[in-house]
């Protein structure tokens, strides 16, 4: 079976965890006992949770589902309850250093077939371009959003949230004027706002009818989402840095978010991803799974199987891997 344990910037830590703490535990085990194996790997580790542990467990979980599907002769989504739809809505990342280059990026995405688009742009007077793509989607190279290229070491940089809050509504006004009211638009705040700043931005963006505002404030500060929710009707998405369902528990039960941004590779695999979405369904919360290029096509495929099976699917981030990556990972999915 094949699984994905990618953890950008901490790859060697996960490799060591798998080699030293997991692999020997699997020898002689029944590969069909997926849930039992998952619980053993999670509960038997004194230091539970965290991205390294959960990425390692995710790789095993995906591989076991892959084995079960091969033995059954069925795609994994059939084992999860069967398909709830024939295809999956996806969104791409349009970005630019200014409005005109942003418009060009939006047009490129529309030509590629995207029907939902995330909008990111540089802020005048600020050198930092966090979240702006390294190159155009149509370039044929791996489509990195800027954080994915930072590697293992963080960088210090200047940032002006007040300038960002002033500029961003004008960006969405321009995009709506250029491309009309029907195109679903998304935006990622990259955890850079305080709760009151996030509430202010959500309110300011309401006239432009966003599909969602993502990571508007640090996800660890879950109480802060209550304040944001009180002040804006802009839909909220959070969770790409979460590792377990417990991270989502308060946000889902209090309906403080509209979309779950988990990633199978960092969340322990297919099994817990399906569970958290079944939990979210009770509160009319949908999926919005994380899908950057630093998650392999294997991890991405795992999310597609979950997305096909659940009835509360929302959207899938899809940045497209490079031709070189696709040569290594043969795929049967098509993007239209």
pLDDT in tens, 143-175: 555 555 666 677 788 889 999 999 999 999 999
pLDDT, mean over the chain: 93
Using CA atoms, how far apart are residues 319 and 295, in angstroms rounded to an integer?
A: 10
Residues 184 and 44 in one domain: no
pLDDT confidence of residue 273: 99
pLDDT confidence of residue 66: 98
> What average pLDDT does the segment 66-71 reach?
98
Residues 290 and 154 in one domain: yes
Q: How confident is the model at residue 135 (pLDDT cuts 50, 70, 90)?
A: low
Domain count, the chain: 2
276 within 8 A of 286, measured Cβ to Cβ = no
Share of the chain above pLDDT 70, in %: 93
Residue scoring higher pLDDT (201 or 139): 201
- The string of DSSP codes covering 148-175 is GGGTTS-------HHHHHHHHHHHHHHH
Lowest mean pLDDT among 28-37, 50-59, 130-139, 239-248: 130-139
Q: What does the DSSP 8-state code read for residue 284?
A: T
Residues 317 and 241 in one domain: yes
pLDDT confidence of residue 155: 76
- How many beta carbons lie within 10 A of that of residue 153, not counting itself? 6
Indicate whether 21 belongs to any domain: yes
Indicate whether 84 belongs to any domain: no
Residues 226 and 284 in one domain: yes
pLDDT confidence of residue 250: 96
Residues 56 and 166 in one domain: no
Indicate whether 6 belongs to any domain: no
Residues 44 and 144 in one domain: no
Alpha helices in 219-336, H assignment, sequence order: 222-231, 245-253, 270-281, 297-309, 323-328
> What average pLDDT does the segment 262-275 reach?
98
Share of the chain above pLDDT 90, in %: 82
pLDDT confidence of residue 146: 54
Indicate whether 2 belongs to any domain: no
pLDDT confidence of residue 118: 98
Residue scoring higher pLDDT (45 or 145): 45
52 within 8 A of 13, measured Cβ to Cβ = yes
Catalytic (active-site) positions: 130, 190
SS3 199: helix
Q: At what angle do helices 161-179 and 195-205 cross, to 10 degrees?
A: 20
pLDDT confidence of residue 147: 57
pLDDT confidence of residue 156: 80
Indicate whether 180 belongs to any domain: yes
Indicate whether 1 belongs to any domain: no
Task: Give residues with Cβ within 8 angstroms of 153, minimum separation 6.
Answer: 9
Find the CATH number of the domain harbouring 27: 3.30.390.10
Give strand ranges (E) for the chain.
90-96, 117-121, 185-188, 212-214, 236-238, 259-260, 286-289, 315-317
Residues 143 and 287 in one domain: yes
Residues 105 and 221 in one domain: yes
pLDDT tens across 271-303, in order? 999 999 999 999 999 999 999 998 999 999 999
Residues 28 and 155 in one domain: no
Residues 170 and 202 in one domain: yes
Task: Identify which of 87-96, 132-141, 148-157 has the greatest average pLDDT.
Answer: 87-96
pLDDT confidence of residue 45: 86
b/e per residue, 45-77, with b = 16+ CB within 10 A? beeebebbbbbbbbbbbbbbbbbbbeeeeebbb
Lowest mean pLDDT among 59-68, 140-149, 213-222, 233-242: 140-149
Indicate whether 335 belongs to any domain: no
Cα angle value 43/3/240 (rounded, 5°):
70
pTM of the full structure: 0.94
Backbone torsions φ then ψ of 117, nearest 5 degrees = -140, 130
Residues 218 and 162 in one domain: yes
212 within 8 A of 232, measured Cβ to Cβ = no
Tell me the sheet residues that pair with 90.
316
Find the CATH number of the domain harbouring 126: 3.20.20.120
Cα angle value 220/129/140 (rounded, 5°):
105
Residues 140 and 106 in one domain: yes
Indicate whether 3 belongs to any domain: no
> Residue 197 sits in which domain range?
90-328
Q: Which long-range contacts (CB under 8 A, 24 or more apart) does 69-74 make?
A: 70/1, 71/32
pLDDT confidence of residue 7: 93
């Amino acid at each position: 079976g094949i699984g994905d344990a990618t953890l950008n910037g901490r790859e060697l830590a996960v490799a060591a965890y798998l080699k030293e703490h997991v692999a020997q535990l699997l020898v002689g085990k029944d590969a069909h006992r997926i849930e039992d194996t998952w619980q053993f790997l999670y509960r038997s580790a004194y230091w539970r949770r965290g991205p390294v542990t959960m990425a390692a467990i995710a790789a095993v979980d995906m591989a076991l589902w892959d084995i079960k599907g091969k033995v059954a002769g069925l795609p994994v989504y059939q084992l999860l309850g069967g398909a709830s739809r024939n295809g999956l809505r996806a969104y791409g990342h349009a970005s630019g250093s200014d409005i005109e280059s942003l418009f060009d990026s939006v047009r490129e995405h529309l030509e590629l077939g995207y029907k939902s688009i995330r909008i990111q742009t540089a802020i005048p007077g600020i050198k930092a371009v966090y979240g702006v793509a390294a190159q155009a989607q149509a370039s044929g190279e791996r489509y990195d959003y800027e954080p994915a290229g930072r590697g293992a070491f963080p960088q210090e940089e200047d940032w002006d949230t007040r300038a960002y809050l002033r500029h961003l509504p004008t960006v969405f006004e321009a995009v709506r004027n250029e491309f009309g009211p029907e195109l679903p638009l998304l935006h990622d705040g990259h955890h850079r706002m305080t709760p009151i700043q996030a509430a202010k931005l959500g309110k300011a963006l309401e006239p432009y009818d966003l599909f969602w505002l993502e990571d508007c404030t640090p996800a660890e500060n879950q109480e802060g989402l209550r304040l944001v929710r009180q002040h804006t009707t802009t839909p909220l998405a959070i969770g790409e840095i979460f590792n377990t369902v417990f991270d989502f528990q308060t946000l889902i039960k209090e309906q403080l978010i509209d979309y779950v941004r988990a990633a199978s590779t960092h969340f322990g695999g297919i099994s817990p991803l399906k569970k958290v979405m079944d939990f979210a369904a009770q509160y009319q919360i949908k999926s919005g799974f994380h899908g950057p290029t630093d998650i392999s096509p294997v991890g991405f495929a795992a999310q597609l199987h979950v997305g096909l099976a659940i009835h509360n699917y929302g959207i899938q981030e899809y940045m497209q891997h490079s031709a070189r990556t696709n040569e290594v990972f043969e795929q049967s999915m098509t993007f239209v």
